[in-house]
Structure 1
Amino acid sequence: MARPTCNTCHFVKTDCICAHVKTLSNRTNIIVLQHKGEEKNAKNTVRLAELIYSNITVLVGETPEDFEALKELPQNSSALLYPTEDAEPLEDNNTASHLTHLIVLDGTWKKANKLFFSLDILSQFKQVSFSQLPENRYHIRKANRMDSLSSLEAIAYTLNLTEKLAMEPAYTALEAMMENQFKHMPAEVRARYKQND
């Protein structure tokens, strides 16, 4: 039988994180393209981003037809957060100040790459990335790249750069979610993750 879930955060009630969530009002429109394989992943951080940020849209899918809404975005002020060689650093104030919509690919690197190369429309948008990264605080999921951030951390850092929004609300919610996941792990597995903190 399914365990009851919180109507707000959608975690099971024993793992509710609502007390650890602070809502922030962001000016930049965050458009998350979530690979359908991530939608029900308990370790996915986009659900936290949806709780924290007031201006965020999550589109789930895998094919161009799933992301038709991208055609409505203003090309001159929208950007894709993706670390290509030509990506402009968001630390550049000129890049950040003109941004109204930020597209974020949500998935493992393999899934994100698949979205990037299968969605031709993404090539119409300027690419942006980071010249330097904050420490990755999300230790639950393994990443193939040393410069990886979770989707929540990437969004939080972007909004810190573009709007000076504090990153601490994202870290607080992330820590609460990780602690709940640690509770359900065998002691030896939990200890291994804790050593990496």
Structure 2
Amino acid sequence: MSRAICDGCGRPQSACLCSHLIVRQLPFELVIWQDPDESRHPLSTTPLLQRSSPGAQLLVGDTFSFTDVFGEALPENVALLYPATGDSEILALGPAAGINKVLVLDGTWRKVRRLLLLNSWLEPLQRMSLTPVQTSRYLRVSPRADGVSTLEAVLMLAAEWTSDASYLDGVGVLDRMAEIQAIKRSE
């Protein structure tokens, strides 16, 4: 017999996060590209991000073309939310330079780097990078000191984009996720 799944948050009903999920329109069009392995991870934040961000587009796969992801959009209107490499240009956060679409890659750092290598068209995209001011509240530990979950990264970007820190209230769902996991471990 399979577990009952909540229609609101997509989690098992015994671990429902709906009461802590804040639905809010982002100030940019969001495309989430998820590694196939990450799509099967039970603690992935992408389903929560997609449910809390009306209009967010989710793609799961290893390879796509620019047109598969953005259709007829111009590359200069798209930015990749990802730490900058040595020669990549970092954009100021916000709607500067006509950016209205943001692509975020979701998966472990190793899997995300793999997506970058498999899809060479990602490399020349303009980049937006974050400098988190607090450590991640996500249950899974990142090998990077500045590593945060996909949910946290997108909400941080929205807060900086609009100068509206209330976007960060949406990260509270991760605290509830941690509480539920702690209860399960103690049982």
Task: Tell me which interval the TM-score lies in, with the shorter structure as reference length.
Answer: 0.7 to 0.9
- Which residue matches 1:20? 20
Q: Is structure 2 residue 155 aligned with structure 1 residue 156?
A: yes
State whether residues 32 and 104 of structure 2, in contact with CA within 8 Å, keep that contact through their aligned partners in structure 1.
yes
> Deviation at 1:108?
0.3
SS of the residue corresponding to residue 102 of structure 1 reads strand
Equivalences for 1:40-55 in 2 at 5 Å? 40-55=40-55
Q: What is the CA–CA distance in structure 2 between the aligned matches of 1:173 and 1:156, rounded to whole Å?
A: 12
Q: Is structure 2 residue 139 aligned with structure 1 residue 125?
A: no
Q: Render the CA deviation track for 1:72-123: whole Å, top value 9, x for unaligned.
A: 33211110112123241544x5x64632001101000000000011112213
Do the aligned partners of residues 66 and 127 (structure 1) sit closer, same or farther apart at CA in structure 2, a change above 3 Å counting?
closer
State whether residues 28 and 55 of structure 1, in contact with CA within 8 Å, keep that contact through their aligned partners in structure 2.
no
State whether residues 91 and 126 of structure 2, in contact with CA within 8 Å, keep that contact through their aligned partners in structure 1.
no
Q: Is structure 2 residue 148 aligned with structure 1 residue 146?
A: no
Q: What is the CA–CA distance in structure 2 between the aligned matches of 1:27 and 1:167, rounded to whole Å?
A: 10
Q: Is structure 2 residue 101 aligned with structure 1 residue 101?
A: yes
Q: Which runs of 4+ in 1 moved over 4 A?
A: none
Q: Is structure 2 residue 31 aligned with structure 1 residue 31?
A: yes
Alignment RMSD? 2.2
SS of the residue corresponding to residue 185 of structure 2 reads coil
With the length of structure 1 as denominator, give the TM-score of the two structures. 0.83
- Which residue matches 1:195? none
State whether residues 34 and 59 of structure 1, in contact with CA within 8 Å, keep that contact through their aligned partners in structure 2.
yes
State whether residues 61 and 67 of structure 1, in contact with CA within 8 Å, keep that contact through their aligned partners in structure 2.
no
> Deviation at 1:160?
0.7
Q: Percent identity?
A: 24
> Deviation at 1:33?
0.7
Q: What is the CA–CA distance in structure 1 between the aligned matches of 2:183 and 2:15, rounded to whole Å?
A: 9
- Which residue matches 2:4? 4
- Which residue matches 1:190? none
Q: What is the CA–CA distance in structure 2 between the aligned matches of 1:88 and 1:65, rounded to whole Å?
A: 22
How many residue pairs get aligned? The number is 184
> Deviation at 1:67?
7.9
Q: What is the CA–CA distance in structure 2 between the aligned matches of 1:67 and 1:152, rounded to whole Å?
A: 25
> Deviation at 1:186?
4.7
Structure 1 runs not aligned, ≥5 long: 188-197
SS of the residue corresponding to residue 105 of structure 1 reads strand
Q: Which amino acid aligns with 1:48?
A: L
Q: What is the CA–CA distance in structure 2 between the aligned matches of 1:144 and 1:75, rounded to whole Å?
A: 31
State whether residues 87 and 129 of structure 1, in contact with CA within 8 Å, keep that contact through their aligned partners in structure 2.
no
